[in-house]
Chain A
Amino acid sequence: MTTKSKPSILVVDDEQMVVTSITAFLEVDGEFEVFGFTDPEQALRFVESQPVDVVLSDYRMPGMNGLQLLRRIKELRPETSRLLLTSHADARSAIDAINQVALFQYLEKPWDDEQLLLSIRSGAERARLLRELRERVGELDSAHHVIKDAQSRLIHAFL
């Protein structure tokens, strides 16, 4: 592990048992920083306050379903990788989700821990690459400004 901060993972399910089990699993090796929520509204407020690398959400929840939550998160933090954890009976909604919220991956309950870990890892990697790309593009932009500035000063000085 490098000195870089751990990938941050948001787990949202209205069932406390699912949140606790997945949080314990993802934290057991200290690889991730995990934030668990049973209320999608609270999860959304959390994402407003700070960026996260991956969000794993249940589909059927009272108040706001997983699809609505992921759509809002996509607007707030487009670089966050979005994963949906559903029961098989929701498969059709999950397929809609893939198209509507550009889902990174869809997992079925009961979930397989190894599959879950692979998906979370690659979701975190994707988010990290997107963030780095944005930083590099930002650096290029500011370098571009510096060059333009130098150019206009040269023109002023010599022409």
Chain B
Amino acid sequence: MIEASAELHQMASLGRLSVAIAHEINSPIGSVLSNNGVLRRSLERLKELVARRESAALDQAAQVIDTCRQLADIDRVACERVRNLIRGMKTFARLDDGEARLTDINKELEETVSLAGCQFRHGITCNLQLSELPKVAAHPQLLNQVFLNLLVNSAQAIGSQGEITVRTELEPDQIHIAFRDTGSGMTPEQKARVFQQGFTTKAPGEGSGLGLAMSREIIEDQHRGSLTFESEAGVGTTFHVRLPLTKEHSA
């Protein structure tokens, strides 16, 4: 039962993610294609202007060059954005061989935040406050699913404008990861049902109500950690993920 719903949840997340990725790629590709056309025409124009060898024409040429430089800068930003997105996707899609391996939690968080960024770019900022952490034995692909789920939940709770803060901290025998949002928060009734499978406050099609139940299973059953939260209606919600340190690192 859990496995079947897990698969369903993953498919629903992937569907939403693909739409968000398509969204994210549209603007940079549109810009780069358009800039390419403008750059080619600008080069033709420069050729004509330079051939005239008059100072007025050279002044115009300088303006054309400024525009070209601006467009080249944009092309760079656009391509970097697509590249970061692809890097994030690679991390997310990496095959898990079933064995736990030594994992750099900060690096996984950075990549998942960069991938999730495409789902909440508009009006929502995400701050990363990362402390130095030892590597821990973990299943990075599963952890990234949890991170992505918490980030997307935060973004949905925020709506159009707000802030998400992801903070990592080394505690005596564990790693503490906090996801704090300035979203709508939860009522006591909602809090009581958070980890219940199929519970959701979202509109049909926005959430399956499986994410948090699944996330808790991944953190608690497969990593022997804990997933807890605190929330206040109108103020926001913070989710706490705690993962035990791998033996040679713990005090």
Contact = CB atoms under 8 A, between A and B. Distances in A.
Interface of A: 13-15, 17-18, 20-22, 24-25, 28-29, 60-63, 87-89, 109-111, 113
Contacts of A63: 123, 160-161
Nearest to A62: B123
Contact of B31 (A14, A18, A28): A18
A127 to B, nearest CB: 23
Contacts of B37: 25, 113
B11 interface: no
Contacts of A88: 22, 26
Contacts, number: 70
Given A28-B38, A28-B45, 6 more contacts: A14-B122, A17-B28, A18-B27, A21-B31, A25-B37, A110-B26
A28 B31 CA distance: 15
Contacts of B23: 60, 87, 89
Interface residues of B, number: 27
Interface stretch (B70-78, B91-99, B107-115, B185-193): B70-78
Nearest to A15: B27
**Cβ-closest 4 pairs across A and B:** A62-B123, A110-B30, A109-B26, A21-B31
Given A17-B31, A17-B78, A110-B30, A24 B123 contact: no
A60 B38 CA distance: 26
Interface string B37-55: 1100110010000000000
